[in-house]
Amino acid sequence: MQKIFETIKEVALEIDTLIVNEDTGYVDGTNATGDQQLKLDVACDLLIEKAFRDNPEVLALISEEKEDVMACNEDGLYTLCYDPLDGSSIVDANLAVGAIFAIYEGEPSGDTLVGAAYIVFGPRIEIVTAVRDEAPIRYRYINDGYQVFHPIALGEKGHINASGGSQKHWQEKHITFIHALFAEGYRLRYSGGMVPDLHQVLVKGGGLFSYPSTADNPNGKLRVLFEVLPFALIFEAAGGQALDEKGRRLLELTVSHPHARTPCFFGSRYEIDRFQKAYGIL
């Protein structure tokens, strides 16, 4: 798996060059979940595919931008699932974007997830990698090399509150819960890119990121295999918690479809307790 993390570090530099130079317009067509695809989505997907398809450890690739599973090496151990460019809708505004990777042993589901990583393309490139039950490692690209940066560890409680979806379509219990956190002094921090938004919760040592079910999106928006589960592993490895809307550990979810979605709540202990009480599941 370390080889996969090393390739992610290399491909991050190539993706960064693309983000800086590629135009931010659309191609004709949509991806498997019906999102309009940017030229950048497609180009980043191809870069990552090229970096991994001949890796003998990789059994298959599943990408947000590919309808079907792409078989690679039949003796490979890992199914690599990825979101090649997270934040397609904010890249034109020049906000921070990311890429997300989940490494599964064989068939992907919560219990076969063994490693995860994400890249943040902000003013600097940062990468966080994690394997089960070990503290995540945070790298920052400085002076032409990756350096291990401050470790990531969540405290008991934070002060960030980031919730996605259209508020017009939030359920009543979600509105009450989110407002209660603000009334306690929590600050709104939501850019519309889950990578920088979750990264901020992690590096500030706590808080809440949620993407609930809404009237217009009953399963939420975020996709299980390459958005939700990798962050669930990273949050748990950092000492936090990651649950679905019924209070189940996300890492216990089974997956019905490569592009399946789920509502999700990531945070430190205090905020996750508050969420469970507000939703009547504790």
Residue 14 interacts with which of Mn ion, ligand AHG, none, CB < 5 to 8 Å by class: none
Helix axes 194-203, 229-237, angle to 10 degrees: 10
- Give the C-alpha separation, 236 to 215, whole Å: 29
Residue 35 interacts with which of ligand AHG, Mn ion, none, CB < 5 to 8 Å by class: ligand AHG
Among 48, 60, 87, 200, binds ligand AHG (CB under 6 A): 87
Task: Give the residue carrying structure tokens 């460019």.
Answer: 85
Residues 6+ apart with CB under 8 A from 233: 102, 113, 115, 116, 130, 132, 251
Residue 220 interacts with which of Mn ion, ligand AHG, none, CB < 5 to 8 Å by class: none
To ligand AHG, the closest distance from the beta carbon of 90 in angstroms equals 8
And the tokens for 70? 């792409």
Between CA 204 and CA 214, with CA 210 as vertex, the angle to 5 degrees is 160
Of 88 and 262, which CB lies nearer to ligand AHG in the complex structure? 88
Q: Shortest CA distance to 222 belongs to which of 263, 255, 186?
A: 263
- Of 46-65, binders to ligand AHG (CB under 6 A) are 64
Q: Shortest CA distance to 8 belongs to which of 60, 59, 44?
A: 44
Among 108, 136, 158, 193, binds ligand AHG (CB under 6 A): 193
Residue 244 sits in the site that holds Mn ion (CB under 5 A):
no
Residue 221 sits in the site that holds ligand AHG (CB under 6 A):
yes
> How many helices (H) and strands (E) would you count in the chain?
6, 15
And the tokens for 162? 């980031």
Residue 194 sits in the site that holds ligand AHG (CB under 6 A):
yes
Stretch that binds ligand AHG, among 87-95, 133-141, 152-160, 245-253 (CB under 6 A): 87-95
Identify whether the C-beta of residue 208 lies closer than 8 Å to the C-beta of residue 235: no
Task: Give the residue carrying structure tokens 């397609």.
Answer: 88
To Mn ion, the closest distance from the beta carbon of 155 in angstroms equals 27
Distance from the first to the final alpha carbon of the chain: 37
To ligand AHG, the closest distance from the beta carbon of 213 in angstroms equals 12
CA dihedral 7, 97, 115, 128 (to 10 degrees): 80
- Of 117-176, binders to ligand AHG (CB under 6 A) are 164-165
Binding footprint of ligand AHG, residue count (CB under 6 A): 13
Residue 64 sits in the site that holds Mn ion (CB under 5 A):
yes
- Give the C-alpha separation, 25 to 269, whole Å: 41
To Mn ion, the closest distance from the beta carbon of 83 in angstroms equals 4
Of 16 and 35, which CB lies nearer to ligand AHG in the complex structure? 35
Among 83, 197, 236, 271, binds Mn ion (CB under 5 A): 83
Binding residues vs Mn ion (CB under 5 A): 64, 83, 85-86
Binding site for ligand AHG (CB under 6 A): 35, 64, 83, 86-89, 164-165, 192-194, 221
